[in-house]
Structure 1
Amino acid sequence: MKFIKRITISAMLLSLGACGSSNNNSPITTDAIDPAYQGIWLANDKGLAIKIGERTVENYMFTSDFCFLTEDADEVETRDLERYVSIESSGSLYWFAGYGPREMSASGFELISTSALPNACETNLIALEGQDGYQENPEQTFSIFSQIFEEYYMDFDLQNVDWTGLKQTYSVGITQDSTNLDLMIAMDAMIKPLRDAHTSITSEFGTVSYNNKQVLTERLIEEFANTEGLPYPIPGEIVTEAMLENLQAFISDSIELQKTLILDYADDASSVIFRADGDVFWFVNEGIGYLHIGKMIDYHPDNEDADDLQNDTNELASLDQILDEALSDLQNVDGLILDIRTNNGGHEFISLAIANRFTDGNVLAYTKKHGKTSPEVEVYLMPRGEVRYTGPIALLVSASTVSAAETFALSMSELDNVVLIGEATQGAFSDIMNWELPQGFDLGLSSEYYYSANGSWLEGQGVPVDIDTSFFSIDEREQEYDAGIEAAIDWFKQ
């Protein structure tokens, strides 16, 4: 999953306050915010409005008819703002928080100066839980949910979804007497046909989301159902505690076997180096290197007292330390197998930081739009780090390669020394647009566009491969081999 951790002003102020705390009980005084920042700023494709006063900041999320005050902070100084936004030479406000440190960041987005808040924020400000005036209103909550998707979802035509028709169908069953469960059932039914791994609904009942293609765990569940003579999907009403335990054991054992099949290609177990809680590991055998990268996130634990900029800086430093070690060990191999088949994604800036270790020149990786009306931004790979590898690379991918791991695959596919082997990736590129709704609902939806260097939009399709192979098939398990690694070795021999 591709995470954008939109910084909260309150957390930012707490982190800065902690740095300068003392036992002095004198009243806090702040300097006025730089006038260049003051005013109202809009990012229409993000549904975001920011109102900056002399010492105050208010953040709003809005649609055509509804608006929420999501952040309200006072005693704010210029230095606080500059931890997550900056004034550009064009006069726009650039939001970079959550996209990585400025020296190694993904593309943030711009907000444009305007004279007034959106009309909905002036005339129909909806109170969220914990705010004054909050009331539960199921019909209104359903309307907000529907309009958010209607205005910000990237493309209903991708899966031939008639959103207007779905809204008409399910709105009939929502009344002022509807429960949160009624709302959850209706919302769930509406997002299911989107088959979008980056679209989700979270509530007191849990989180629902639907993949475009089966990932490994889903494939294993289907295999279990077939073996046990069960229907698939397995109906919840027939699931027993014993069945669930057996299923969990089957999945766990299978995933462990998949890793074992890889490690069998090492000369011996002691030659394998593990880092990042085992999500990164590498070895060399007979002149061929293998590097497994299992995530694009969590290379350093977040500090709750720090802001996004500091946490991202720490994460990048930890990643760089691992990459320096790994690529130093792999520097002299004749070919490198780079495996991201089970990488579920994370941060785009992490995927770019890794990809930059495999190029000697600037290369257009992809272009990106932050929303329907946003301009396209070109994203380049640029040589980074003292230790890089630019020899032959076989990049292993699968349908379980998702999100930021897919932007990594998209980037790497532009390098002449790289061949992609396996299955087309999941096809979930967009960053996640997050919304808090009344009645305890949180939404995530895809609202952005990623295009390959030649202009192809691969959302829903995934990054294609050069050499098709299976991934952890039943035959591979029975014959104890890894088809992707075997194909990579054959390619190196050509």
Structure 2
Amino acid sequence: MTMQRRSGSGTICRTVAAAALLAVTAGMALPLAPAASAQPAAPPTGVWRVDGYGEVLTLDAGHLQEYQVTGVSCVKGVAAERAGGQGGTARYTNDEGFVFTVRSKGRPDRAAFHIDGSPGDRGLRRIDALPADCLSPAPGGPVAAFDIFWQTFEENYPFFATKGIDWHAVRDRYRPRVHAGTTDAELFAVFREMISPLHDMHVAVFAGRTGTFGMARPGTVMPTKELDAKVTSYIEKRDLSGGKLRQFANGRISYAELPSRQGYLRVSGFGGYVKADDFAANSAALDEAMDAILTSANTARLRGLIIDLRINGGGSDSLGLQLAGRLTDRPYFAYAKRNRNDPADPTRFTRPQPQYVRPAAAPRYTGPVAVLTGGSTVSAGETFTQALMERPGRTVRIGEHTQGVFSDTMMRALPNGWAFMLPNEEFLTRTGATFDGPGIPPHLREPVFTDEEFEHGRDSAFDRAVAVLGRGRQHGG
């Protein structure tokens, strides 16, 4: 299943449809709310192909089963059990804490599929039966693993052209090195060499005891627990003059009020807030943290808010939209999602689904904001940054480019027990631009946690934010 992103120590493994369509080529304004539709009496059952994502689902009264399909393979994937729903909607859950919702759309051959924590829906189209490859066990061996690995990228990865990669040439170079006697170590080395030139943090191989491989964009580092702890200590000692950050949400959110009457909000991930780590529990923990931080007395006193995302390992995009809803008094466009959906044509995508930030029915802060970003701002940290770009209040980005990975990740299984992940989505601005690859640029460039900054006791981005908010200078978002 293409899951929502899970926040972690720098490892990103992730993931109500809007009726409005994003007119990216015409630059048309977007409506702010989807149209309501009546739900039929019964939820979908049968066999359904997901629009993009390389998935087929079987649904019955109590069970959901995913099949991961390509032109050369079918591998059984995630399963979930019925856990409620009403009318034309059914909800399914599994032991990993994921919640899936399937909803009828008023036609017998169309339905919608939603994963809690991932904004938007995925289209479902009814098919007569499972593909023939799904009716027998997937072939094993190194050659089959190579073919499934290569074919999955061929049919789903959207960025070969922008990264200058000839994926067919990659196959021609590496497939002759794989044969029935190829060892696990040799196959892992082949996969690693194939994907290294992508420099994509949303691409990784999980080869059990043989190893795990992923990479960051050159010149950047992955967010880790160790780096997060080092930065927390540095900020408390240097920026807060020895003061302590108030910790919330399992330490993933922290806050301090500065002598300048500015707030400092540090978010190191959009998930992992509670032990259960499911979306509903994380959402409740985020609300609890922000209720404690944004008291009426606090927001009335603040002259500015610094949001520090410089070490942010990602998580749930929906939690990012939820937090953005604490920073506005009116709804606005955040971004639009689309995914590649033609295995033979990398330029074909689904129709973009616009996503919106809506004001929270809870304490909010709507004054000036400075957002600190860097190369270790990853995934949901980046979609949250993008969701603030059209924020009605004054917002300025300071630091360095974000990592440049936005999509939910497709988690894929191989017959040898290995797994790998890759992206297949784009997050679009109102004009249809994306930031995949280079990341979102800052308005004001400052070094972020470099060796020189640490050596000389500096935090240039933080100091710039304090100065900019203190001057009240206007910057675009």
* TM-score where L is the length of structure 2: 0.80
Residues 154 and 447 of structure 1 are in contact (CA less than 8 Å); yes or no, is this contact kept in structure 2?
A: yes
Asked whether 1:113 is paired with 2:130, we answer no
Residue in 2 that maps onto 1:212: 217
Misfit runs of 4+, over 6 Å: 72-80
Residue in 2 that maps onto 1:461: 438
Match of 2:72 among 59, 65, 68: 65
Asked whether 1:185 is paired with 2:196, we answer no
Could you say what secondary structure the match of 1:396 adopts? strand
Asked whether 1:374 is paired with 2:350, we answer yes
Residue in 2 that maps onto 1:391: 367
Residues 55 and 77 of structure 1 are in contact (CA less than 8 Å); yes or no, is this contact kept in structure 2?
A: no
Where do 1:280-291 residues align within 5 Å?
280-284=253-257, 285-291=259-265
- My pick for the range that moved more, 259-268 or 339-348, is 259-268
Match of 2:137 among 115, 126, 142: 126
1: CA distance, partners of 2:363 / 2:452: 38
Could you say what secondary structure the match of 1:214 adopts? coil
1:324 alignment partner AA: D
1:178-218 CA distance string (max 9 Å, x none): 12222111111111111110001001212101112433469
Share of identical aligned residues, percent?
A: 26
- My pick for the range that moved more, 84-93 or 181-190, is 84-93
Residue in 2 that maps onto 1:144: 148
Residues 252 and 273 of structure 2 are in contact (CA less than 8 Å); yes or no, is this contact kept in structure 1?
A: no
Q: State the shift of 1:351 in Å.
A: 1.0
1:89 alignment partner AA: K
Residues 261 and 480 of structure 1 are in contact (CA less than 8 Å); yes or no, is this contact kept in structure 2?
A: no
Where do 1:279-428 residues align within 5 Å?
279-284=252-257, 285-302=259-276, 311-328=278-295, 330-331=298-299, 332-372=301-341, 373-415=349-391, 416-428=393-405
Residues 399 and 426 of structure 1 are in contact (CA less than 8 Å); yes or no, is this contact kept in structure 2?
A: yes
Q: State the shift of 1:456 in Å.
A: 0.9
Residues 109 and 370 of structure 1 are in contact (CA less than 8 Å); yes or no, is this contact kept in structure 2?
A: no
Residues 423 and 470 of structure 1 are in contact (CA less than 8 Å); yes or no, is this contact kept in structure 2?
A: yes
Change over 3 Å in CA distance of 1:36–1:325 after alignment to 2: closer
Higher helix share: 1
* TM-score where L is the length of structure 1: 0.77
Change over 3 Å in CA distance of 1:368–1:256 after alignment to 2: same
Residues 338 and 393 of structure 1 are in contact (CA less than 8 Å); yes or no, is this contact kept in structure 2?
A: yes
Residues 35 and 54 of structure 1 are in contact (CA less than 8 Å); yes or no, is this contact kept in structure 2?
A: no
2:220 alignment partner AA: V
Could you say what secondary structure the match of 1:380 adopts? strand
Residues 140 and 416 of structure 2 are in contact (CA less than 8 Å); yes or no, is this contact kept in structure 1?
A: yes
2: CA distance, partners of 1:289 / 1:405: 19
Could you say what secondary structure the match of 1:426 adopts? coil
Residues 252 and 272 of structure 2 are in contact (CA less than 8 Å); yes or no, is this contact kept in structure 1?
A: no
Could you say what secondary structure the match of 1:117 adopts? coil
Where do 1:190-269 residues align within 5 Å?
190-204=194-208, 205-216=210-221, 256=230, 259-266=233-240, 269=243
2: CA distance, partners of 1:365 / 1:71: 30
Return 5+ residue gaps in structure 1 as ranges. 7-33, 128-134, 219-247, 304-310
2: CA distance, partners of 1:5 / 1:286: 38
